Structure 1
Amino acid sequence: MAAQNENPAKHVGADDIYTQIRRRIVEGHVTPGLTLGEAQLASEYGVSRTPVRNALARLEQDGLFERVRFGYAVPVRSPEQVVELFEARIILDLAAAELAAQRRSELDLARLRHLLEQAEAATGADLIHINDAFHDALRDAAHNPTVAQLASRVDAQLAAYEARPAGTPDDRQTTQDEHRRVFDAVHDRDPARARSELQAHVERARDLRIAALAREDRKT
């Protein structure tokens, strides 16, 4: 199957190829099972096959690609495998919440507060982006780059399976209330409460996704 044409810029630097292909996966432009070939990508980016091959190898190490007969493809994961990824992300995010409550700076709090304020007026895709940014800022507030990097890696693997609507008004308000409670715990430097509040939030999101996976599975 040919890759979707997203018209990447010609003659990009070799160091950017990994980032650009990764972005195409995370943003849903390369769906599970879709094959990308070295020659086609080299032509699109205006480079030789070598930097493309290196980028694809890195993406394979990240779990975003697997080798197939005619190139590389985003893995097709079973519902059980998707749930496993959710569970891994929950573990990492709970660790981040605890650490954030212990290590957050005033700048971290300002960033989290700003995102909460932005979310109040946001809708649709903008709201999804802001809510994701809140979780990223919480990880940054933990001041543990390893936790943040591992969580980002799991996020990328899940991205192809998270074409999410913004949710109902009630669900959006629930999310905002949950984020606010997490923020309050981090602000108060209460690691146990930060972990507990985030756990309630991410487990609710997991359960909603499991229900969606079950509905999709019944359709097949």
Structure 2
Amino acid sequence: MAASKESADVRSVSSSQRAYDELRELLMRFALLPNQKINEVMLAAQLHTSRTPLREALNRLVAEGLLNNQGRGFSVPDLKPEVVRDLFEARLEIECSTARLACERASDEDLKALSDFLTESASESPNVSVDRLIELDIRFHDTIARLSQNQVLRSLLSNLNDRIHLIRWIAMEGRRDNTQAQHRKILERIEARDKEGAAAAMRRHIIHRNDDILAAIKAAYGHVYTLSAV
């Protein structure tokens, strides 16, 4: 009997994790729109899962800030300017901190590997997708967070990246050359062990002006609702 219960628990965890992974992917691909209400019956059918693991997955995403639940069911967070601004401000402070810590804690070998990665990413095809650019950008910033040797800051940054994924996706369009140049400047300051210079280069790199954030939100709405009409 105990073995049977343990097996059922494992299946429940597995189903919940699968539902979480698939639902998170829908959010990252903008298949669910800002402010959209979640129909649990339809979503369970779409993901081929039962309501219990789906509800566990939904609650996990609420805890991560990727969904809302205000007592009347689940919904996708709206792109409220003040919320997006707060998320970018938090990202800015975290990334400036990880850049400073990386100056103190990163080994020369690790920084050489990051430099090699930037060289390789610069050789990507000019026609590479925005999704690929975002992947490369996140890897660069996550590597600096890892080199800071502060797992809490790294985890917080990962969550923030998920919550502003759409805005970052929009902001990346047309910025490839500029982004790569800025990444190189950030790394140069870290290699020089220049904590304040690295933080300043990171600050210049990350969108933080209200006008830029508002423009990105407007573009994001245009993008997702254009997709939904196709």
Under a length normalisation based on structure 1, what TM-score does the superposition of the two structures give?
0.78
8 Å contact kept, 2:81–2:213: no
Report the Cα offset of residue 133 of structure 1.
Answer: 1.8
205 and 172 in structure 1: CA distance in 2 versus 1, 3 angstrom threshold: farther
> Which sections of structure 2, spanning at least 5 residues, go unmatched?
1-13, 222-230
142 and 183 in structure 1: CA distance in 2 versus 1, 3 angstrom threshold: same
Distance 1:216 1:61 in 2: 24
Report the Cα offset of residue 205 of structure 1.
Answer: 7.9
Aligned twin of 2:106:
104
Distance 1:70 1:206 in 2: 32
Pick one of 188, 191, 198 that aligns with 1:194: 198
Aligned twin of 1:75:
77
8 Å contact kept, 1:56–1:72: yes
Amino acid corresponding to residue 193 of structure 1 in structure 2: G
Q: What RMSD in Å do the two structures reach over aligned CA positions?
A: 2.8
Question: Stretches of 4+ moved more than 6 A in 1?
Answer: 214-217
165 and 150 in structure 1: CA distance in 2 versus 1, 3 angstrom threshold: closer
Pick one of 180, 185, 201 that aligns with 1:181: 185
Secondary structure of the 2:164 match is helix
47 and 216 in structure 1: CA distance in 2 versus 1, 3 angstrom threshold: closer
Counterparts of residues 7-156 of structure 1 (less than 5 Å): 13-67=15-69, 71-106=73-108, 108-122=110-124, 123=126, 124-125=129-130, 126-156=132-162
Distance 1:51 1:112 in 2: 39
* Structure ID, larger Rg: 2
State how many pairs are aligned. Answer: 204
Report the Cα offset of residue 74 of structure 1.
Answer: 0.8
Aligned twin of 1:208:
212
190 and 21 in structure 1: CA distance in 2 versus 1, 3 angstrom threshold: same
Distance 2:15 2:220 in 1: 40
More helix by share: 2
8 Å contact kept, 2:96–2:202: yes
> Which sections of structure 1, spanning at least 5 residues, go unmatched?
1-11
Report the Cα offset of residue 39 of structure 1.
Answer: 2.7
Aligned twin of 2:8:
none
Identity %: 28
Under a length normalisation based on structure 2, what TM-score does the superposition of the two structures give?
0.75
